[in-house]
Structure 1
Amino acid sequence: MKRPGPLLTLLAGLVLGLFLLTLDATTGTKTASSPYEEKSPSPAPTRSTVSPSPSPTPSRTPAPAPNADYAGRTDDDAAAIAVSVRDGRAIAYFCDGRTQESWLKGDVQDDGTLRLTGKNGAKLDGTLHDNKRIDGTVDVGGGHHAFTADRAKKPSGLWRATATVRSAKIDGGWIVLKDGTQVGILTRDGKPSPAPRIDPETGTVTVDGQQLTARPATP
């Protein structure tokens, strides 16, 4: 058997090369898209920021005046004055210790102001300051007096006694100041005179030989 010559071998190689070139041209080369292809991030949605409306500040309701007693003198030192406050009501007593007196009453407003009235046009206009003192003016019997009354501690304050002694109607009022001074008037059937001293610890007082008991005066 004869071996194929070099020419035959060369021709076979050329045919194989042409076949491979033709196959490559026919199929082409495709580039697959990567399943992890990076995508441009979508812009984050814009959130509108709305500032919440400020909550309305709750209005403060003034606290009512506490129950307390106040006692002092007029600025001209002509008389003493005492005020008793209970549950938004007030009673006041103006007394010169001789013949002139007046009982007044009214409300205490939320702002601490007082507008008290009494008989024969008597009136008191005052202001309560930090529950420590009351100052203002009082008009009694044609006189106009400025006054200051500090908060009182027992036994100082306002006292009153009413009774019938020997067929006479007795009405007594006393203002006990913080230094122990007492200013008061006792009326017998409407006739005023200086009041006898009371015992501020017990409220006892002797009137025309009869022992009475004065009590703290409140509205």
Structure 2
Amino acid sequence: MKRSGPLLTLLAGLLVGLFMLALNATTGEKATSSYVKPPASGKPSAGTKASPSAAPAQSSTPPSPSPTRPRTAVPEGVYTGRTDDDSSAVAITVRDDKAIAYVCDGRNVESWLQGDVEDDGSLRLTGKGDARLDGKVKGAQEIRGTARVGSGSHTFTLGRSKKSSGLYRANASVAGARIEGGWIVLPDGEQVGILKRDGKPSPAPEIDPETGAVTVDGQQLTARPVTP
């Protein structure tokens, strides 16, 4: 009878034991850690790239433009009329966003004023002796406002004048006297004006609206349309 059976069984057991021993030796080793502790100073170690700081977010929406006031067109020309209390006449000449005004009672009170036409169509004109005129264009063919001349304050409504009506002025020397004249020719042909001789006021003689011709103390002068 052969004895190879028990011998083979013993040999097989020995091989299994050696295999299990080798397996335990392999799995018992500690894995190497890949964690690297940063230095105490807080600076990145060599080979470590510092992440860049995030840039502040910027708005992609453009700023809204500042609102602008709409421009009120004021037709150039002369606006004439009488004050609401019918005590005086008023004329305003507008050109290139500038304005000149004349307020006159036809006897002894008058004032020349000037200033700018604002974007909203308003006028704030000033003259000598604290004279002031505040007005506003209404409907592009009319100016309403208030004139303060001397001790009086007068409201008015002026319409845009047509040919021959308007505002005129003359400056000359006659017989050694200084002559200064102002005239408002209203749409109905009425004339209101003052003529000063060396500063002394008196009612002005009538002019020819077509030519501006006027006779003062026997001498013919020319009154010319007033523009800013």
The two structures have a TM-score, normalised by structure 2, of 0.69
Contact kept, 8 Å, 1:66 with 1:87, in 2: the verdict is no
Aligned to 1:167: 176
Aligned to 1:34: none
Please point out which of 59, 68, 71 is paired with 2:77. Answer: 68
Q: 1:106 offset after TM fit, Å?
A: 0.3
Aligned to 1:178: 187
Contact kept, 8 Å, 2:70 with 2:120, in 1: the verdict is no
Query: What letter is aligned with 2:93?
Result: S
Q: 1:101 offset after TM fit, Å?
A: 0.3
- 1:113-124, aligned counterparts within 5 Å? 113-124=122-133
Distance 1:77 1:63, change over 3 A: closer
SS at match of 1:131: coil
In 2, the alpha carbon distance for the partners of 1:61 and 1:157 equals: 29
SS at match of 2:86: coil
Contact kept, 8 Å, 2:137 with 2:144, in 1: the verdict is yes
Unaligned runs of 5+ in 2: 1-64
Deviation string 1:158-215 (CA, Å, 9 cap, x unpaired) is 0111111111111100000000000000001110000000000110000000000011
In 1, the alpha carbon distance for the partners of 2:170 and 2:226 equals: 9
Contact kept, 8 Å, 2:99 with 2:114, in 1: the verdict is yes
Unaligned runs of 5+ in 1: 1-55
- 1:131-170, aligned counterparts within 5 Å? 131-170=140-179
Q: CA RMSD in A?
A: 1.7
Is residue 87 of structure 2 the alignment partner of residue 78 of structure 1? yes
Aligned to 1:20: none
Q: 1:59 offset after TM fit, Å?
A: 6.3
Is residue 138 of structure 2 the alignment partner of residue 97 of structure 1? no
Q: 1:96 offset after TM fit, Å?
A: 0.3
Give aligned pairs, total: 164
Please point out which of 194, 198, 202 is paired with 2:207. Answer: 198
SS at match of 1:147: strand
% identical aligned pairs:
66
